[in-house]
Amino acid sequence: MDYDVLILGGGIIGCAAAYELSKYSLNIALIEKDYDIADDVALINSAIVYDGIESRDTLVAKLERMGNEMFDDLSNKFNVPFKRTGGLIIAGNENEEKALIEMYERALKRGVLDISLIDSKEIYEMEPNFNGKAVKAIHSKNLGVLCPYDLAIAYAEIAFDNGVNFKLNEEVIDIVKISRGFRVETNKNKFTCKMVINTTPGKSYSIDNSDKTIQSNVFYQKYFMLDSTFKEIYSSILFTINEQGERVYTVPSVQGNTIAALNTKDNLKYNEAVNKVSNLVNGIVDDNITNYYQALSYKNDVLIDDSSVDKGYIKISAKHYGEVTMTPAIAKIVCETIVSNIKCTLKKDFNDKRREFYRFRDLSNEERNQLIQLDKRYGKVVCLCQLITEGEIIEAIRRPLGARTVEGIKRRTGATLGSCQGSYCLNKIVSILARETNKKITDIVKDSKNSRIILNRIKEFDGV
């Protein structure tokens, strides 16, 4: 057999499963069709770490709670920014209050700790800048925010350092059952393995059981990044609930900015969406919105299908708005299932540390000076808005599973995510990527094969 375990898909779930399994004496590979891991994780600075109280589904609630409890440890160990901000789920009228109390009682029955029901006076005391309608709220100390792709990259880097073989830019075409294992066919290779963890969403291979397809509940998600007028306006995450099931909320990002967000069944126009969020963040006008981002979001059932685990196959289908929160729990459960079905032992030399790196903007001036003395490239600021240096960009390229695309640099360092949206630094990043990877600048892509940034050289400038 080529491998003991093949993990298909290098999203956050695949990377987390690779990390958990890399603790064991197993020969593992992960196959990802894109040039980079975690390329599909939503590109927003902060994701909410939920605590299960908002979910009607018992399994989702349980996985969110399990995941939530693991984040303090993970973020310390991996140096991934995480803030346990707490949050308020606010009811603005009597009907909403009824639904809120139901949610609260359901959470208590499930044994959720650190939540309380508070009245309007306490709400306004807790968040003095809030001037929307509020009759009652659930206050949860459990909610938090983190950088989801940082977490995915941390999982993958440690898995890589502990021997997991990452095969990027390789697409799985089929999975075929053979005696004592599987043959995984890709566009480049055929691999045999004893067990498969399939995390590729929506794919159906020869091995899959067609009865277990997931119902898709699609929502329209819109994010508004707000300017410094709204910086730290709220200390916690604020949600409103309403009878239509829309979710309007604000998130204090890990960098202290405010993100207003909306999740609706209908695809609202920009102005309608701004109106909705202005109920939570009073006074927003167009000029306050530094960045607008929309995506589809899902609230599907979470299915960890291990019904074929005796044959060696586990499929994880979990398109869900709380999936980052559930990831540590799902990875642990899947790893335990694999380990109890395959002969292996814990590695004595497992290294549970991410290689160190610097975030220039988070350092004091004294630390910055020391760093520049060590490496002058930390003294060259490439992205002015986010204060990202050439040293950090080179480090992002040279790290294990280093960035090979502009998107990869963006996700690892935060460059181009400021108010100028890369108009100052994009070309510089392309040049650094080309120089460090020994490629022509015309070969550097945004993220996928056909997304070149600079299409041609202009002949007259060849000698410049």
Ligand X SMILES: Cc1cc2nc3c(=O)[nH]c(=O)nc-3n(C[C@H](O)[C@H](O)[C@H](O)COP(=O)(O)OP(=O)(O)OC[C@H]3O[C@@H](n4cnc5c(N)ncnc54)[C@H](O)[C@@H]3O)c2cc1C
Which positions lie near ligand X, rule CB under 6 A? 8-14, 31-34, 39-42, 47-48, 50, 148, 171-172, 199-201, 203, 221, 295, 297, 318-325
Report how far residue 128's alpha carbon sits from residue 238's, in angstroms, rounded to the nearest whole number. Answer: 12
Return the number of the residue (178 or 295) whose C-beta is nearest ligand X. 295
What letter would DSSP give residue 129?
A: T
C-beta of 33 vs 276, nearer to ligand X: 33
- Least distance in angstroms from the C-beta of 14 to ligand X: 6
Rounded to the nearest whole angstrom, what is the least distance from the CB of residue 421 to ligand X in the complex? 19
Cβ-based nearer residue to ligand X, 300 or 389? 300
Nearer to ligand X, 13 or 333 (CB): 13
* DSSP H or E segment with residue 136: strand 136-140
Q: How far is CA 57 from CA 12, 65, 183, 305, 341, in A?
A: 22, 12, 35, 17, 29
Quote the CA–CA distance of 245 and 176 in Å, as a whole number. 42
**SS3 (DSSP) at 123:** helix
Residue 439, judged by CB atoms within 10 A of its CB (0-12, 13-18, 19+), counts as middle
Q: Is 396 helix (H, G, I), strand (E, B) or coil?
A: helix
How many other β-carbons are positioned within 10 Å of the β-carbon of residue 360? 19
Give CB contacts under 8 A, 24+ apart, made by 370-376: none
**Which residue's entry shows tokens 């100028």?**
420
Min dist CB 171 to ligand X, Å, is 4
Taking the least distance from each CB to ligand X, the nearer of 6 and 103 is: 6
Q: 96, exposed or middle or buried, with CB in 10 Å at 0-12, 13-18, 19+?
A: buried
Residue 171 or 436 having the CB closest to ligand X: 171
- Contacting residues for 64 by C-beta, under 8 A, at least 6 apart: 50, 51, 52, 55, 322, 325, 326, 329
Q: How far is the CB of 295 from ligand X (least distance, A)?
A: 4
Between CA 413 and CA 407 the distance in angstroms is 10
Q: Which is nearer to ligand X, 48 or 233 (CB)?
A: 48
Q: Which is nearer to ligand X, 7 or 388 (CB)?
A: 7
Closest CA relative to residue 184, chosen from 401, 449, 1: 1
**Of residues 245, 264, 262, 242, the one with CA closest to residue 91:** 242
Residue 157 φ/ψ, nearest 5 degrees: -60, -40
Chain position whose Cβ is nearest to ligand X: 11
The nearest distance, CB 263 to ligand X, in angstroms, is: 9
Smallest separation, CB 126 to ligand X (Å):
22
CB nearer ligand X, residue 203 or residue 377: 203
The smaller minimum CB distance to ligand X, of residues 47 and 387, is found at 47
Buried b (16+ CB within 10 A) or exposed e, 320-350: bbbbbbbbbbbbbbbbebbbebeebeeeeee
Residue 214 CB, nearest approach to ligand X (Å): 12
Which amino acid does the sequence have at 338?
I
Nearer to ligand X, 293 or 358 (CB): 293
Least distance (Å) between residue 298 CB and ligand X: 7
| Cβ at position 7, least distance to ligand X in Å | 10
Query: Cβ of residue 23: shortest distance to ligand X, in angstroms?
Result: 19
Q: How far is the CB of 117 from ligand X (least distance, A)?
A: 24
